[in-house]
Amino acid sequence: MKRDSKLKSILSSATKKLKDQDNHTSETLSNDIQKNKEKLKKQFGPSEDVIFRQLNIPFDDDTAQDTLLVFVDGMVDENAVRNNIINALITQPLKLQRGGDKLEKVKSKVSIFNTVTNETDIEKAVFEILQGSAFLLVEGYDQGLLMNVAGFELRSPEEPETERMVRGARDGFIESISTNMALLRRRIPHTSLQFETIKIGKYSQTQIAIAYVKDITDPKLVERIKLRLHQINVDAIENSGEIEQSIEDHPFSIFPTIGNTGRPDKASALLMEGRVILIVDGDPCILYAPYLCLESIQSLEDYTSRPYYTSFIRIIRFVSFLISILFPALYIAVLNFHKVMIPSEMVVPLIQARETVPFPLAMEIIIIILMFETVREAGIRLPQQVGSALSIVGALIFGQVAVSAGIMGAPTTVVVSISYIASFINSSISGVISLLRIGLFIAASLFGGYGLIMAMLGLLTHMVSLTSIGIPYMAPFAPFYFRDWNDTLIRFPYRWLKQRPKSIPNKRPKKIESLPKTGDK
Amino acid sequence: MLLFCLCILTGCWNNEELDESALVHGLGINKAEDSLHFSMEIIKPSKESSEGSASGENIIIEKEADTLIEAVRESIRDVKRRLHFDHNQLWVIGEKLAKDDMIGYLDLSRRDQMFRLNSYLFITEENPVDILETPTLYDDLSSTEIVSALEQTKHISGYTSVKMYDFFKAMEGPIPNAYIPIIQTTEENNQPITSLNGTAVINDGKMVGKLTNHETNGLNVLFNKASGGYSQLTMNGNKISIEINDSETTIEPVLKGNHLKAHIEVKILSTLADNTSKDTINKEWINQVEKKASDQIENHIHMTLDKLQQELKTDISGIGIETYRKYPQQWHHVQDNWDDVFSKADITVDVDTVVQHQGLINKSLERHRDKHHNNPYKFNRGN
């Protein structure tokens, strides 16, 4: 209840702020079209992308009326402006024989094609024009017609490159929020899927849609997210990352507690699990919460393929995660502190490799790790044509020359490489893995296996303390929801996944009502 | 996590770069005039050569000292690096020391956490340095090679391998006797190589005698370690050998006062390995082989037991342990003069060998095979 009232007070203060802005500028239109043009020009300044177009609209009583059409080039659909406004008004004289208001006639003509509203306030008109509306002023009237003809260049909804799937939908979210909402609506055509839109950013006026399935999602979750979104007061929202970082529970943790995806099929699956999705206009990545730690080893494709291989791959992913964060740390702990743990057969080659290297082992590993990170970062940012040159330099100079020149030891290079290869399988959290690898490595190089264990304990304690919009990050392990274990490292067959995961609070626990009985003939 | 802790926190608590330490792979101890003579084989961190042929990759350090720790610390002067015994896999003890008293000098190996208890223990009649200095056939270090050879001894029932913890387990048991294999160098192709030859018998920390290879064979059967080995026999002038797949030995002691009667029953499952005769293999033939093999193995065991009872008066056969298990109450009375009880014991041995499988062929060579008379694919053999 307390939270409810808090939300209300914040909502009302937000609307009040908007009203204040309204009162602040109350310049209205006048009857004179030229004066209006001056006023508008003053608002827009020298911006050349705003087009002012004089139109002479003929009427069937052989009179004509001067009008002014204002729109922003590129923000409107050119075809709509040409056909639905200009052609519609000019080619045939408007019928005025039976009398009537000229503005009403014009409005009824253009409203065949567009949504039209009357507007008297210049500020508001300007605001709408900047968002892709066309504004039509008619001589002798102190109000204009706002027609929504927004339309701009969009790319087609292609599959996002970072989340490719072998078997699955081939579409992806794009930069336009309306297209993105439509992509979701097409997958869940039910009234229960609801979009709540708010605008954030004084200058950017970025639209943000909160999407959730009302029958499933826990209302407290939606409320919490809405509350936080309304508290954002910034000049501009550039991308979804800024929203993510302003509303997440633990802004200083290295673990992300809000997920993102570019795949509509994944987004709809998330919605059906009872999660809340945030679509930020201008960003093809949608955000979702709650985001659990477990998801970094899961993939949507796990559910399209059969359970056995999926479970195998999930185990591989988990083991790879451990290898990628622990391998260099274990290596230095064993070599520098716990020499008994070196396999006896490997002692001689390890010693011989170490003997040629001029640096201490810790420094050698740090150098290799930093070089790997550099090569990787360079590989991501470089254009593709240069990329192949980079891989040659990386592979040759690294793998071959540095080892044979005795600057780096072959075993050390192999250890770090294995760690990196293992991290590619969990690419969604590769940033976290890189940091953990270095952190654990430093702990291990200073205090050996003891330091490594202490660091791991600290890490686990931190991970258990994390929440994602109030939902425990490590669920279903901590807190312990045994029922959800049918979809963790081992994915059970589809017909045993009848319940929605308890880790994500929801109002509709049952997912599968019944399935055909097969197999017992 | 706890398990992880346990297995990682076993070593020394300090940080030392690998190239600042010297890893000892083999350690030899012998008795000098009035002190001990230590020799250590250290991994030589030489450059990797492109041919990959590594020879003489070891450094041998010799030191005279009173105790092991003194030798270890004193040799830092020579080695210029701190010695690490984490990877010490081999202990070679000179016969001179073994016959004197070796247990006391091995104390550090268990007191210090640096030593491995799963390292192998040997006794040599020669100077331990010679064993460590033997040129190797495959591996870089002679210690490594000896150890890897021991991993293969399961295919030869003539040898036994003893690890440090086996030795101490035996020494701390009810009968403080143990056995240690003997290693020696032999000349082969004008090149000395190491080979295992017989077993040393330890009675109360002192070496009292040794068993030959054949006697070791019998010992192995007694210890149930014979599986994987082979047995060679002669039948009608032809050599025949069987491979032992599985053997099971049960010792049944009967203690009456100070008199011990023991019955040893051995069951051996085997496969025919070699048949130099031209006989056709059938049931009777197999029975003959089984009989022969049983006799031979029985013989070996008797040989071993006779030597242990009469000559060495030392029980390492496991009969004592079985008696202790069966008669824990009476044990106190016989414990002190067990060697005496053992050497006067009546021991009967019964070996039952079963040849399960004759291999892939029947006869060694079958010259004439009659064609099946209704063979549809007849052809002339053209004399």
Over residues B194-216, the pLDDT tens digits come to: 777 888 888 877 888 888 887 88
List the domain boundaries for chain B.
Answer: 20-45+56-211, 217-362
Torsion of CA A349, A352, A353, A356, to 10 degrees: -170
* Helix (H) and strand (E) counts in chain B: 13, 13
pLDDT score, position A27: 73
Helix (H, G, I), strand (E, B) or coil at A201: coil
Residue B48: which pLDDT band, with cuts at 50, 70 and 90? very low
Q: Which residues of B touch A340 (CB under 8 A)?
A: 10-11, 86-87, 116
Which among B137, B167, B132 is positioned nearest to B25, based on CA atoms?
B132
Tens-place pLDDT, residues A90-139: 888 877 766 677 888 888 888 887 788 888 888 888 888 888 888 988 88
Distance CA A365, CA A416 (A): 7
- CB atoms B57 and A348 under 8 Å: yes
Range with lowest mean pLDDT among A44-58, B77-91, B241-255: B77-91
Which of A322, A344, A440, A456 should we substitute to test contact with B (largest number of B Cβ atoms within 10 Å)?
A344
What does the pLDDT read at residue A16?
59
DSSP annotation string for B353-369 = EEEEE--S-SSS-----
Identify which of A68-72, A355-359, B85-89, B354-358 has the greatest average pLDDT.
A68-72
pLDDT at position B50 is 41
Specify the pLDDT at position B216: 82
The answer to ipTM > 0.85 is: no
* Burial label, B128 (beta-carbon count in 10 A; 0-12, 13-18, 19+): buried
Q: What is the pLDDT of residue A75?
A: 85
Please answer yes or no on whether B43 and A348 come within 8 Å at the CB atom: yes
| Mutation to test the A interface, candidates B1, B3, B12, B18, most A Cβ within 10 Å | B18
Nearest CA in chain B to A343: B87
B18·A448 Cβ contact <8 A: no
Please report the pLDDT score of residue A458 as a whole number: 93
Q: How far apart are CA A110 and CA A117, in angstroms?
A: 11
Burial of A434 (0-12, 13-18, 19+ CB in 10 A): buried
A340 vs B4, B13, B86: nearest CB: B86
Considering only alpha carbons, which residue of chain A is nearest residue B116? Answer: A340
Q: Residue A270 pLDDT > 90, yes or no?
A: yes
pLDDT band at B49 (very low <50, low <70, confident <90, very high): very low
User: Best-predicted range by mean pLDDT among A20-29, A209-218, A471-480, B362-371?
Assistant: A209-218
Q: How confident is the model at residue B52 (pLDDT cuts 50, 70, 90)?
A: very low
**pLDDT value, residue B53:** 41
> Which residues from A are below 8 Å from B46, CB to CB?
352, 355
Q: Is the pLDDT of residue B365 over 70?
A: no
Q: Which residue has the higher pLDDT, A9 or B181?
A: B181
- The whole-angstrom distance between A502's CA and the closest CA on chain B is 27
**Are the C-beta atoms of residues B108 and B68 closer than 8 Å to each other?**
yes
Residue A308 confidence (pLDDT) above 70: yes
Mean pLDDT throughout A471-488? 90
Q: A430, A373 in Cβ contact below 8 A?
A: no
**Chain B residue nearest residue A332, CA to CA:** B17
At residue A15, the pLDDT reads: 59
Phi-psi category of B37—alpha, beta or left, where left has phi over 0 and alpha has psi -120 to 50? beta
B110-135 pLDDT, tens digit each: 777 778 888 888 888 888 888 877 77
Q: How confident is the model at residue A26 (pLDDT cuts 50, 70, 90)?
A: low
Whether residues B19 and A354 touch (CB distance < 8 A) is answered with yes
Position A233 confidence tier, pLDDT thresholds 50, 70, 90: very high
pLDDT at A8: 66
Given A337, A348, A449, which is nearest B141 (Cβ)?
Answer: A348
Would you say A226 and A196 are in contact if contact means Cβ atoms under 8 Å apart?
yes
Chain B positions in Cβ-Cβ contact with residue A452 (cut-off 8 Å): 8
Residue B368 has a pLDDT of 60
Test B21 with A353 for CB contact under 8 angstroms.
Answer: no
Mean pLDDT, residues B259-287: 83
Q: Name the residue of chain B whose CA is nearest to A355's CA.
A: B19
| Region of B228 on the Ramachandran plot (φ > 0 left; ψ -120 to 50 alpha; else beta) | left
Report H helices in A273-356: 301-304, 307-336, 347-356
Name the average pLDDT for chain A: 86
The pLDDT tens digits of the residues spanning B154-166 come to 566 556 778 888 8
d(CA A259, CA A473): 11
Closest CA to B103 of B222, B204, B200, B20: B204
- Chain segment A407-463, per-residue pLDDT in tens: 888 889 899 999 999 988 887 888 899 999 999 999 999 888 888 999 999 999 999
Say whether pLDDT at B19 is over 80. Answer: no
Give backbone dihedrals phi and psi of A401, rounded to 5 degrees, phi first. Answer: -65, -45
Least confident of A37-46, B197-206, B288-297, B371-380: B371-380
- pLDDT beyond 50 at A501: yes
Chain B residues with at least one Cβ partner in A under 8 Å: 1, 4-5, 7-19, 21, 23, 25, 43, 45-48, 57, 84, 86-87, 89, 116, 140-141, 144, 147
Alpha helices, DSSP H only, in A1-110? Answer: 2-24, 33-44, 78-79, 88-90, 102-110
Lowest mean pLDDT among A206-210, A330-334, B252-256: B252-256
pLDDT in the model for residue A433: 93
Q: Which residue has the higher pLDDT, B326 or B279?
A: B326
Residues pairing with B272 in the sheet: B242
What pLDDT, on the 0 to 100 scale, is given for residue B55? 45
Q: Do B87 and A347 touch (CB under 8 A)?
A: yes
Tell which CATH classification among 3.40.50.720, 3.30.300.210, 3.40.50.300, 3.90.25.10 matches the domain B217-362. 3.30.300.210
pLDDT of residue A128: 85
Side chain identity, residue A492: F
Could you tell me the two tokens for A215? 């029958």
Interchain CB contact of A405 with B (< 8 Å) = no
Q: Which of B1, B3, B6, B8 to mutate to test the interface with A (most CBs of A within 10 A)?
A: B8
- CB-based contacts of A349: which residues, under 8 Å, 6+ apart? A411
pTM of the model: 0.79
Single out the residue of B114, B121, B115 nearest to residue B93, CA to CA: B121
The answer to whether B8 contacts A335, with C-beta atoms less than 8 Å apart, is no
Q: Which residues of B touch A446 (CB under 8 A)?
A: 15
In chain A, which residue's Cα lies nearest the Cα of B85? A340
For the segment B56-106, what is each residue's pLDDT rounded down to a tens digit? 567 788 888 888 888 888 888 777 777 888 788 888 888 888 887 777 777
Interatomic CA distance for residues A265 and A171, integer angstroms: 8
| A137-151 residues labelled b (16+ CB within 10 A) or e (exposed) | bbbebebbbbbbbbe
Cβ-Cβ pairs closer than 8 A, A with B, add up to 91
Say whether pLDDT at B383 is over 50.
Answer: no
Taking residues A220-231, report their average pLDDT: 94
